[in-house]
Chains A and B, each alone.
Chain A
Amino acid sequence: MLELKNIVYQVEENGEGIGILNDVSLVIPDGKLTVITGPNGGGKSTLARIIAGVVKPTSGKIFFNGQDITDMSITDRARLGIGFAFQQPVRFKGIRVVDLIRLAKGEKKLSSSDACKYLAAVGLCAKDYINREVNSSLSGGELKRIEIATVLAKKSALSVFDEPEAGIDLWSFQNLIEVFDGMRKNIEGSSIIIISHQERILQIADEIVLVKEGKIDCQGTCDEILPKLVGTESAVKSCGVIDLWKGGDN
């Protein structure tokens, strides 16, 4: 279980402190897929980065399975079982897809068949990708899937995905939903946080947290929260080519 207590995050601008997160307290339950949603600029991604340790909060405490991890480094949190998928995946020169998956698994050597199963899980034909460099020759969608594959390979107790749909095409998006749906079905013993304001992702959530203007606006089950969000900035429909083909009007 992850617990955030009174998290405040401020940045300095023109000598003034601007609050990005203002006294956020939140409990992320085990065995659940929680989607954190809310309008742009509301502090969702900052919250994800604070959980992974990429950003240090100005004040407040973070507990993971009862342990205070507020001052713990990114590395130590990762080793404790927190995985993090970047909103904008990082590109490397010379590091191959297989290397990233091997590092994610924490093994010195990795068989190609082992690496391939993670790529297959995110809808990539493994043999085409395994030896490719994680560089700018890959498209945004491909990078995003590889990023998710690294988090899958890491097998974390808590996996955090920061706007996984950002920057990917519609076809990849459809596949992404299937990946998360599959993860949710096999969630036992772990939990997932997805930062997103896509309605399709909200639909597969167990829990939804609405973050607005740096505060928790509301939190509850999908059935409780989603109806309130539909049609707002917090639950955006993806461009609906597939639905249009079905005669839909979104």
Chain B
Amino acid sequence: MELTDIQKKILEEVADLHKIPVGAYNIRANGESVGRNSSANIEITSKTDVSGIDIKIKPGTKNESVHIPVVISQTGLKENVHNDFFVGEDSDVLIVAGCGIDNCGSSDSEHDGIHRFYIGKNARVKYVEKHYGSGAGKGKRILNPVTEVYMEEGSYCEMEMVQIKGVDDTERVTHAELKEGARMIVHERLMTHDDQHAVSRYDVELNGEGSSADVVSRAVARDRSYQRFDAKIIGNAPCSGHSECDSIIMDNGTILAVPALEANNVDAALIHEAAIGKIAGEQLVKLMTLGLTEQEAEEEIINGFLR
């Protein structure tokens, strides 16, 4: 597998990969699979009808990981990828996805992806997805991920969704359906700058008794960027749901937070919280009394907030 230096840098940003990962992986660069490895318990195969892969995790697979990073360094490339994850019952796995686009040219580069997770009974999944953009070209870096999560009884899914830098336009859509006793935790961290535009929508259906979801977003909008966060939690059974959107607004940024709750069962306990504000002056002053400049203090506060 040969990757250019730019591709290697992107790989490091989106998947913390410095070398070929251990375990199962599929590395996609400029629209093609450039490296793949299945393990005894995790099988990766190409789809035949559309572009994308199936990842099949055998029941009972424990402490294994799958890395499926995507790298785009070709200006003007547009792709649409469907990846399906079949996570067997009682397994416990780490899935690291992520997409990085380096666009030095003048045409827009775009990666649209659908990730569907079918999580078996009592299985546990940790999913990490990082999005990153770089390159000085005028062409935009566009990422539109769709994530669908179907959770069986007693399953657990923790999702870390991160987009910190360089993505000009993004529309993220996450849909989840939870059966009895299933639990979903989402930590989204998003920072937009310059003229970037980001929309993130969640709708989580709590269908089974004792199911629960916690969707937490931390966001920073700098310069003239725009963000919209829509989080809807639907309680169709005795369940508990919580969504939180906490945002820092800077410069001439715009943030629209639209939390929504729908209860269709008298024992559905649903809570949402949303807060938007600038960096508190006293936080800056405290760090300045430790010897930081105002700008350094601001960076520390944001880095901490988005940790």
Q: Are A103 and B300 in contact (CB under 8 A)?
A: yes
Tell me the count of chain B residues lying within 8 A, CB to CB, of chain A.
Answer: 22
Q: Are A95 and B301 in contact (CB under 8 A)?
A: yes
Contact of B283 among A73, A92, A99, A154 (CB under 8 A): A92
CB distance from A164 to the nearest CB of B (A): 15
List the A side residues contacting B306 at CB < 8 Å.
94
Using known A-B contacts A54-B285, A74-B285, A86-B286, determine if residue A94 contacts B304 with beta carbons closer than 8 Å: yes
Within residues 88 to 136 of chain A, which ones have a CB less than 8 A from any CB in chain B?
Answer: 89-90, 92-96, 99-100, 103-104, 106
List the A side residues contacting B286 at CB < 8 Å.
86, 89-90
CB distance from A51 to the nearest CB of B (A): 11
Q: Are A78 and B301 in contact (CB under 8 A)?
A: no
Instruction: Mark the stretch among B14-22, B41-49, B264-272, B288-296 that contacts chain A.
Output: B288-296
List the B side residues contacting A38 at CB < 8 Å.
none
Q: How far is the CA of A83 from the CA of B291 in the complex (A)?
A: 9
The answer to whether the Cβ of B280 comes within 8 Å of any Cβ in the partner chain is yes
Q: How far is the CA of A99 from the CA of B291 in the complex (A)?
A: 14
23 residue pairs A–B, Cβ–Cβ below 8 Å: A54-B285, A54-B289, A74-B289, A75-B294, A78-B288, A78-B289, A78-B291, A84-B289, A89-B286, A90-B282, A90-B286, A93-B246, A93-B304, A93-B305, A94-B304, A94-B306, A95-B300, A96-B304, A103-B287, A103-B291, A103-B300, A150-B290, A154-B290
Using known A-B contacts A75-B293, A95-B301, A103-B300, determine if residue A90 contacts B288 with beta carbons closer than 8 Å: no
List the A side residues contacting B294 at CB < 8 Å.
75
Contact of B307 among A84, A86, A90, A94 (CB under 8 A): A94
CB distance from B123 to the nearest CB of A (A): 29
List the A side residues contacting B285 at CB < 8 Å.
54, 74, 90
User: Chain B interface mostly helix, strand, loop or mixed?
Assistant: helix
Interface string of B223-241 (1 = CB under 8 A from A): 0000000000000000000
Chain A residue nearest to B306 (CB atoms) is A94
List the B side residues contacting A78 at CB < 8 Å.
288-291
**Sample of 6 more A-B contacts, CB < 8 Å, known A54-B289, A75-B292, A100-B290:** A90-B280, A90-B282, A94-B305, A94-B307, A95-B300, A154-B290
Q: Are A92 and B288 in contact (CB under 8 A)?
A: no
Tell me the count of chain A residues lying within 8 A, CB to CB, of chain B.
Answer: 24
Q: How far is the CA of A106 from the CA of B296 in the complex (A)?
A: 12
User: Chain A interface mostly helix, strand, loop or mixed?
Assistant: mixed
Q: How far is the CA of A21 from the CA of B64 in the complex (A)?
A: 66
The answer to whether the Cβ of A52 comes within 8 Å of any Cβ in the partner chain is yes
CB distance from A103 to the nearest CB of B (A): 5
List the A side residues contacting B290 at CB < 8 Å.
78, 100, 103-104, 106, 150, 154
List the A side residues contacting B287 at CB < 8 Å.
103
List the B side residues contacting A75 at CB < 8 Å.
288, 291-294
List the A side residues contacting B300 at CB < 8 Å.
95, 99, 103
Within residues 123 to 146 of chain B, which ones have a CB less than 8 A from any CB in chain A?
Answer: none
Chain B residue nearest to A88 (CB atoms) is B282
Q: Which of B287, B294, B307 has the most C-beta atoms of chain A within 10 angstroms of its own C-beta?
A: B287
Q: How far is the CA of A52 from the CA of B289 in the complex (A)?
A: 7
Q: Are B246 and A83 in contact (CB under 8 A)?
A: no
Interface string of B138-168 (1 = CB under 8 A from A): 0000000000000000000000000000000
List the B side residues contacting A54 at CB < 8 Å.
285, 289
Q: Which of B246, B292, B303 has the most C-beta atoms of chain A within 10 angstroms of its own C-beta?
A: B292
Chain A residue nearest to B302 (CB atoms) is A94
Q: Which of A78, A79, A95 has the most C-beta atoms of chain B within 10 angstroms of its own C-beta?
A: A95
CB distance from B288 to the nearest CB of A (A): 4
